[in-house]
Amino acid sequence: MELDLIDVHFDLKSMTPREIEEAMEDPFAIRFLPDNDRPDSETRFYALGRTVGDRHLFLCFWTDGKTARVVAAREASEGEQRFYERKYAEFK
């Protein structure tokens, strides 16, 4: 899947595009679907993922199956990190 980071509305100085890609490709990432259906056939996701450098990120992105466009990205909160670690421990 191609990652689209053109004209993003968040600061790419605090995290690199590579870190965003790593968090999205994390095999243990937790993805949530929003409650509402979209008529434009784009599927929006919220995700908690971890980078190779052990940085936890929260992402909001949409995908049409071919391209993933990141809408928002930030450091995961402490609670989100604990949730990720609990779910990760279940897979070990």
pLDDT digits (tens, 9 = 90+) for 56-79: 999 998 887 788 888 889 999 999
Greater confidence, 68 or 35? 68
Nearest to 74, CA basis, from 53, 56, 87 = 56
Rounded distance between C-alpha atoms, residue 39 and residue 34, angstroms? 14
Percent pLDDT > 90 in the chain is: 45
Count of alpha carbons within 13 angstroms of residue 2, beta-carbon side: 5
What pLDDT score was predicted for residue 19? 93
